[in-house]
Amino acid sequence: MASTIRVRATASGDSTEVQALIQHPMDSGFVKNAKGELIPPHYIQQVVIEHGGKPVFIADWGPAVSKDPYLKFAFKGGKKGDDLKVSWTDNKGASDTLTAKIQ
């Protein structure tokens, strides 16, 4: 199965800009399906981005983050060709990880 994570990390000078797009339903628990039953909450709780084995950015999310979440941030110290590891875990204990190269 293809990864649920897509990452574009671009280094320019000392700063690396990271854009991540994750495929996830992000069900809030407030929405009903076609039969009128509530769809139980199913959402990503935490995204951790690591560079050089150390976390540089941690996102804690509630169900108010949109479906297929998008995240953009920047950090210093990354170089072209470095590995950047992105992992998420959701409220049902599912998770996914992707390691991308900084461009």
CB closer to another protein, 1 vs 10: 10
Question: In the complex, what is the shortest distance from the CB of residue 33 to another protein, in angstroms, rounded to a whole number?
Answer: 11
CB of 81 to another protein, least distance (A): 18
**What CA–CA distance (Å, rounded) separates 77 from 92?**
34
Q: How far is the CB of 98 from another protein (least distance, A)?
A: 18
List C-alpha distances in Å: 86 to 35, 72, 82, 91.
36, 12, 13, 17
Q: Nearer Cβ to another protein, position 1 or 62?
A: 62
Residues at the interface with another protein (CB under 8 A): 15, 26, 28, 30-31, 45-46, 48, 54-67, 69-77
77 contacts: CB under 8 Å, gap ≥ 6: 14, 16, 51, 52, 56
